[in-house]
Structure 1
Amino acid sequence: MSEDGDFVIGGAFSIHHKLYTVIYNYTTKPESPRCTGSFNSRVLRFFRAMIFAIEEINNSTELLPGIKLGYEIHDSCVSVPVAVHVAFQLSNGQDPVFYKDSNCSQTGMVMAVIGDSGSTPSISIARTIGSFNVPLVSPFATCACLSDKKQFPTFFRTIPSDQFQADALAKLVKHFGWTWIGAVYSDSDYGNFGMSSFLAVAQKEGICVEYTEAFFRTDPHSKIQRIADVIRRSTAMVIVAFTASGDMSVLLEELALEPSPPRQWIGSEGWVTDPLLMGYSFCAGAIGVAIQKSVIPGLRDFLLDLSPTEVADSPVLTEFWEDAFNCSLKKSKYDNLGKRECDGTEDIKTLENPYTETSQLRVTNMVYKAVYAVAHAIHNAMCKERNLNFECDKHFRLESKQVFTELKKVNFSQNGYPVSFDANGDPVAFYELVNWQKRESGSIDLITVGYYDGSLSKGQELHIYRNITWVKHGTEIPVSVCSETCPLGTRKVLQKGKPICCYDCIPCPEGEISNKTDSPDCFTCPSEFWSNAQRDACFPKPVEFLSFDELLAIILATFSGFGACLAIITGIIFFRHRTTPIVRANNSELSFLLLFSLTLCFLCSLTFIGAPSEWSCMLRHTAFGIIFVLCISCVLGKTVVVLMAFKATLPGSNAMKWFGPPQQRMTVVFFTFIQVLICTVWLVLSPPFPIKNLTTYKEKIILECALGSVVGFWAVLGYIGLLANNSQ
């Protein structure tokens, strides 16, 4: 479809999806490649939107005044051979002869090309026309590879790069907690590069992929069937589909033959907004990223303004009309297919078709903006402002290289939508999040539920502001994990030979906890803390010591009190009978001192009951050592007195003279003073102190007294042993 003009804008769209193949015998000249297969009325809307934008510009008094833009639009049918053929046709121009005169007009020369619908044909076209500095502005080619200015210096696009789309899809999957997914993608530049970018981002987000399957619409049926079986047998609830619309249609058609268990589809912009695919009800609840919805005033009226004459004059419109109304126009090549003849009652205004669906203009607006971008570039290259008005010279020898240079600089708004390109020829990334929501009637509506804005700071790009309807018309977010979330008190242990998202949950051992779900490790509690039974929190260890209310302490205190009472009672009896010969013979002074020290010895055991403190620890060991030495000294003194008494019976012996009461007292004081001295040195240098014993029992703390200086302790005990041995 073409129209003459002062400057021509080329167009390439995939209205059909297959290349008509012919086997040549090389005896005749090969025909030009042509397209066949089903007719895509949605792409026809893109086709016509380009014409609408050009006519709108031609009627404008501000943009390119006095200049008429023409167009030359071709069908590339998603085929590289056809795309290359189209690129050469657009580069050659339409003049039947070569002009050598430098002053001649270049009427009909293509200044820029709008298209293609897919990344692979766009790559082919960009490589071909880029050699002639003809810019290609694509409204729908999203492959991140096209941002490489070394390979595609003249490529621009009004749709964001798949690098942003991959990031948006990965963040969407992560947002809903899905860590176990399946992935299918088109075996094309769009799908291969897009899925590669998605998998790279997904790996960083901790998302595991159960399977990845690539396919193309022209693949053998056995391959499509195998991929459908993989989906049916998979355990992943969520499937990310990075596919073109035509490829997705083939896969869904196969799945519809034997529906798989419910699956939550996550779609790329290549198919998720295609109304033709919304007839597959088992995909209801699908969510994905889409180009921003827009409004183009006057476009719907233009699309519906098709007269029978205009339709009959255009093979493309004729095919659309016959396909939409299932009838045959007169003198049509479809007469022999048995269709009824169109009788003129067909009303396009009542037609429900992707061509007439203008409530969800998305990619159409990308086409519209692409045309205006080229028009602004041409305007900036050849028009000058004079007296607040623009004047354009239609005879100006404009070259495509100048249009290419000006395209880098364009920055304007059309219908409220900004248009500009960065250094890579890409626009600012902005996507809507859309959801397939089923009506009560069974039809599916495309509802916007959020957005992704690539210009926002990291972590703030994704926003969801509306309720989402999930698979099977559910209201709860479906779960898609390889292993259930490990609860508190457990840790993850990876399953051998499986991705990191597949793991077992192992309880934490005693003394360790995990206080968050899916914890990779258990953490040891601090030394004075211990894990609870659930292993999800640390609590202070119970502190134990010999308290007065315990049975052992009660028994010890009872025996201690009983022994002290016996010693006191004995002392009272001795005191009352102190004048009797038997008491006097037992050395009453040492006996009373012995009974007193025995009383203290019994009472000294009470210092070992209760929580240890600095004073009680020092008192326990030193008081016992001193009191016990006092007791042994008394026994030793009484023993020496007895020995001296036996020696005093020998003739001429005066032993008792040298060991009388004063000497006995001095002996007791001397021996006791030595122990006091030892204890004093011990307390000064390294006294006993209270400690928390954390090693004997892991789950509790034992309060006890440390010896301080071990030498001091053994010196005290050694001295006691020495006196005890001599007292025998």
Structure 2
Amino acid sequence: MVPKNYQHILALVFAVLEINENPQLLSNVTLGVCIYDSYFSAQRTYHATMLLTSTLEIFVPNYLCDIQNHLAAVIGGLDSDISLYMATVLDIYKIPQVRYIPAPVMNDKTPGLSFYQMVPEETLQYEGILSLLLHFGWTWIGVIVMDNDNGERFVQTVLPVFSQKGVCFAFIERIPTLSFVTGFMDIIEDGVKIHDSMMGSKANVVAIFGESYSMSFFRWLPVLSVDNKLVGKVWIATAQLELSAFHYQRHWDAELFHGAILFRYQFSYLQRFHKFLKKGNPLSTIKDDFIKNFWEHVFSCVFLNTTGDPVDGGICTGEEKLESLPLPFFEMSMTGHSYSIYNAVYVVAHALQAMFSSRRTYGTVLVRGRPELQNQPFWQLHHFLRSVSFNNSAGDQISFDQSGKIIAGFDVINLIVSSNESFHKVKVGRLDPQAPPDRVLTINEKAHPLSVCTESCFPGYSKKVKEGEPFCCYDCIPCPEMKISAQKDMHDCYDCMDTTYPNIKHDFCIPKARTFLSYKEPLGISLSLFALSLALITALVLGIILKHHNTPIVKANNRNLTYILLISLLLCFLSALLFIGHPEPVTCLLRQTAFSIIFSVAVSSVLAKTIMVVLAFMATKPGSRMRKWVGKSLANSIVASCSLIQAGICSVWLATSAPFPDVDMHSVTTEIILECNEGSVILFSCALGYLGFLAIVSFVVAFFARKLPDSFNEAKFITFSMLVFCSVWLSFIPAYLSSKGKYMVAVEVFSILASSAGLLVCIFAPKCYIILLRPELNNRGQLVRR
């Protein structure tokens, strides 16, 4: 079952209902409709056609006993073979057949059948395809036709005309005629053959001359392809083809058809038909043997009272929405075929109206207040069909030419397949048979379809010529990360200026923002408040120590070193403020050097305190020579010498390659970073390395002195403080190197504050605790363990 064909039935029923409700047309006469399926089988088609000529529900050929139901005309034959099978039977009874497909091929054994064609002359469509090919310069194409008489006629009569105009054919393939017993293996075998021909050809345009179901066949091609090289081909399909799919192809990839050009029978939008479709419901619709089968297939559900084979899915509620179906399954607006069927019903109705009105030849017998037609010679309806002319409800004029073909044209449609597998039909031109010869085909250049060999590369892309292909065949390559192209069909992308960066689409440059770690942003404010808070705490600790400077716990650990350490920590916290704010020449000179020297003083003070603790315990041993080293002079010497070395490194740094304000335009794509260039990276590394050396030495000395016998051994707290200090700065290195812009500065500021806070808390928190909360422990007897 091809689900989309169900709309043909609905268009037929809709037209009949409209006519029966119209008092101006066939007044007091009720049109009825009887629908049969051909199942793509000649036997089924002949049988269904004979049923139409017999009494309803009683199949007896040439026997008709129902005087209230008269067959006036037949509308049908979606494909050419089906139409021909029906015509061979209907012609015996002279019953008119109104077709909505081009005329089938007639051979010598076929009688002169009468057809009324609701679609334009087919030769007009072929002329339009040829004009389209020449318009875009597509002279190397592949052709796919049906493997039947119509396809052979096309190859023998139409393609030579194409060749005369300079169009060459890379390949000509044939697809099988669909039948009721067509198997998957047959489809796959023919699909592989067509797939191989397309893959082996450089032709980028493929013209299809098929039947209504051919698109369903071509949806097998992506399944048979191991890659996606078929995508990008430009497909040109005749109006007979519908964009359709079988129910099992619901989720199959359709990107293959993106950019396809479809010829479509011209039609007008009918708002009433759209409303009619929205009312469709399998639970409320009666006398429709097709709707439940259609509903189960398209919504993948099953009705509880169904007698057919169950399908995968849930239970059908009947509340499912037709507008939610994908376009290959169903359309809420009429297709070209459905519009032709709709007009065909009106053609028959207007012909009947003309025949009933002609009292010169036909009489009317009133039965129960209604005109009933008894033994009316319906074969004479042909005369009125040929001369019918009217405007339908959409305002389109409907009339036939001398050969029984409707006077109309074609629309040229560009099929767009979105990334979510939704389909959009964009009208890009039209074929008008009544226009001057040079204006029969009109194409909207602004909306011309995409094709590999004619495609324009939009801004943000550049052209790359395909290897081994003509210069007009190229791929559109997205611009690299830092490049743009501002115009169509650029051969190369170009760089933005240093002060700008590409937008997301890479089609123009955006000015970069100038950034630095500012006092006005949350990060800068937080770090500033953190630094000032720690500086205030350090000042309070220094005040407490000065107030209790004569107590044993202060005197026991070298008061001078304590004062130096607290003052240096206070300055460390304040030096962090030099890193925040707009980089200036003075701040750039001071921030790293001041930080290095002040930290060296702090760490050397800690080292001196640790060494003094060790010497003090060694001096208590009898006969020890270490007593002469215990004193203020040694501690001051340690602090001074260690700090002078760092000061020397910084002096050389400032003298040879001093830091200076700079801008970094490349580290962050969207920003210009205002920063302090460190000048000499080597000397900067030396300053940090020397600081780390002092910290490690202090940690090692304190670690070995942590178990000296004393109830208040400061070496224990120094060990913890230096462990915190070293951990912070070891973490600083990878964090600093992996950061960019103002966040790199923020990492260094945080490391300064965290390491300084570690020294402050680990060394002075125990002292403040004893001084303020446990003053009874602040005496010599408690501090010295004998």
Q: TM-score, normalised by structure 2?
A: 0.51
**1:377-412 residue CA offsets vs partner (Å, 9 max, x unmatched):** 1111113599xxx99833354232022221111011
From 394, 397, 400, the counterpart of 2:372: 394
Name 1:72's counterpart in structure 2: 34
Match of 2:86 among 125, 132, 140: 125
CA distances 1:60-96 after superposition (whole Å, capped 9, x unpaired)? 1111000001111111123222222222111224275
Distance in 1 (CA, whole Å) between partners of 2:325 and 2:374 is 45
**Contact 2:119/2:340 (<8 A) preserved:** yes
Q: Does 1:113 align with 2:74?
A: yes
Q: Do the aligned residues in 1 keep the contact of 2:146 with 2:175 (CA within 8 Å)?
A: yes
Q: In the alignment, is the contact (CA less than 8 A) between 2:118 and 2:340 conserved in 1?
A: yes
Q: 1:306-705 residue pairs with structure 2 within 5 A?
A: 306-311=280-285, 314-334=288-308, 336-337=310-311, 339-343=313-317, 345-348=319-322, 350-352=324-326, 357-359=331-333, 361-383=335-357, 393-395=371-373, 397-414=375-392, 415-439=394-418, 443-465=422-444, 466-471=446-451, 475-476=455-456
Deviation sequence 1:424-480 (CA, Å, 0-9, x none):
211124011111234465633111001111222333211112421313697449999
Secondary structure of 1:234's counterpart equals coil
User: C-alpha separation between the residues in 2 aligned to 1:377 and 1:437?
Assistant: 40
**CA distance in structure 2 between the aligned counterparts of 1:90 and 1:315, rounded to whole angstroms:** 17
- For residue 69 of structure 1, what is the amino acid of its counterpart? L
Q: Does 1:250 align with 2:217?
A: yes
Partner of 1:448, secondary structure, is: strand
Is the 8 Å Cα contact of residues 144 and 162 (structure 1) preserved in structure 2? no
Which ranges of structure 2 fall in alignment gaps of 5 or more residues? 458-462, 473-786
- Structure-1 separation of matches of 2:304 and 2:242: 37
Is the 1:190–1:243 Cα contact (8 Å) retained in structure 2?
A: no
SS at match of 1:290: strand
For 1:179, the equivalent position in structure 2 comes to 139
Query: Residue 63 of structure 1 is aligned with which of 7, 16, 25?
Result: 25
1:154 maps to: 114
Secondary structure (helix, strand or coil) at the match of 2:35 reads strand
Quick check: which one's strand share is greater? Answer: 1
Whole-Å Cα distance in 1 between the matches of residues 372 and 436 of structure 2?
A: 46
Cα shift at 1:107: 2.2
Which 5+ residue runs of structure 1 have no aligned equivalent?
1-38, 487-728
1:545 aligned partner = none
* CA drift at 1:297: 3.4
Match of residue 47 from structure 1 = 9
Contact 1:327–1:341 (8 Å) recurs in 2: yes
Please tell me whether the aligned partners of residues 322 and 329 of structure 1 are also in contact (alpha carbons under 8 angstroms): yes
Contact 1:160 1:426 in 2 (8 A): yes
- Report the Cα distance in structure 2 between the residues aligned to 1:344 and 1:289, rounded to whole angstroms: 35
Greater shift, 61-70 or 280-289, is seen at 280-289
CA distance in 2, matches of 1:422, 1:148: 25
- More deviation in 342-351 or 281-290? 342-351
1:685-706 CA distances to partner (integer Å, 9 max, x unpaired)?
xxxxxxxxxxxxxxxxxxxxxx
Taking the aligned partners of 2:328 and 2:381, their CA distance within structure 1 comes to 33
1:65 and 1:291 map into 2 onto residues whose CA distance is 31
Partner of 1:166: 126
Q: Distance in 2 between matches of 1:484 and 1:347?
A: 49
Cα shift at 1:263: 1.7
1:202 alignment partner in structure 2: 162
Q: Deviations over 1:250-279 (max 9, x none)?
A: 233124431334322111112265488995
2: CA distance, partners of 1:452 / 1:272: 18
1:226 equivalent among 193, 198, 204: 193
RMSD: 3.7
Cα deviation code 1:137-156 (max 9, x no counterpart): 012x2146379998443211
Amino acid at match of 2:139: T
Residue 395 and residue 288 in structure 1: after superposition, are their counterparts in 2 closer, same or farther (change >3 A)?
closer
Residues 99/329 of structure 1: CA separation in 2 closer, same or farther (3 Å cut): closer
Match of 1:238 among 205, 218, 221: 205
What residue number does 1:22 align with?
none
Asked whether the 8 Å contact 1:382–1:396 carries over to 2, the reply is: no
Aligned to 1:437, what secondary structure does the other structure show?
strand
The alignment partner of 1:76 has SS state of: coil
Match of 1:301 in 2: 275
How many Å apart are 1:206 and its aligned residue?
A: 1.9
Q: What percent of counterpart residues are identical?
A: 25
Determine if contact 1:167/1:198 at 8 Å carries over to the other structure: no
**Cα distance in 1 for residues equivalent to 2:62 and 2:245:** 51
* Aligned mates of 2:170, 2:357 — CA distance in 1: 57
Aligned to 2:669: none
2:51 paired residue number: 89
Higher helix share: 2
CA apart distance, 1:336: 4.4
Deviation, 1:234, is: 0.8
User: Deviation at 1:285?
Assistant: 1.2
Q: Which residue is 1:651 aligned to? A: none
Q: Is the 8 A contact 2:15 2:346 kept in 1?
A: yes
Q: Distance in 2 between matches of 1:366 and 1:215?
A: 26
Greater alpha carbon shift after TM alignment, 84-93 vs 196-205? 196-205
Contact kept in structure 2, 1:53 and 1:371, CA below 8 Å: yes
What is the rounded CA distance, in whole Å, between the counterparts of 1:85 and 1:224 in structure 2?
Answer: 32
Q: Go from structure 1 to structure 2 and tell me whether the alpha carbon gap of 1:459 and 1:58 turns closer, same or farther (over 3 Å shift).
A: same
8 A contact 1:185–1:242 mirrored in 2:
yes
The code of the aligned residue for 1:50 comes to L
Measured in 2, the distance between the counterparts of 1:185 and 1:295 equals 31
| Structure 2: distance between partners of 1:366 and 1:107 | 28
Q: Given that residues 84 and 104 in structure 2 are in contact (C-alpha distance below 8 angstroms), is that contact kept between their aligned partners in structure 1?
A: no
1:362 positional shift = 2.1
User: In 2 relative to 1, CA 471–284 (structure 1 residues): closer, same or farther, beyond 3 Å?
Assistant: farther
The letter for the 2-side match of 1:226 is K
The amino acid that maps onto 1:327 is: C
Matches of 1:437 and 1:334, distance apart in 2: 37
Task: Give the match for residue 754 of structure 2.
Answer: none
In 2, the alpha carbon distance for the partners of 1:267 and 1:436 equals 11
Structure 2 SS opposite 1:75: coil
Q: How far apart are the structure 2 equivalents of 1:51 and 1:201?
A: 41
2:488 paired residue number = none
SS of the aligned residue for 1:459 comes to: helix
**Cα distance between partner residues in 2 of 1:228 and 1:98:** 48
Please give the alpha-carbon distance, in whole angstroms, between the structure 2 residues aligned to 1:351 and 1:238. Answer: 30
Deviation at 1:292, TM superposition (A): 1.2
Number of residue pairs the alignment of both structures matches: 442
Larger Rg: 1
Task: State yes or no: 1:137 paired with 2:98.
Answer: yes
What residue identity is the alignment partner of 1:168?
G
For 2:236, the equivalent position in structure 1 comes to 266
The alpha-carbon distance between structure 1 residues 307 and 119, as it changes in their structure 2 partners (threshold 3 A), is same
Alpha-carbon separation, structure 1, partners of 2:57 and 2:299? 37
- TM (norm. structure 1) is 0.55
Following TM superposition, by how much is the alpha carbon of 1:131 offset from its aligned partner in structure 2, in angstroms? 1.7
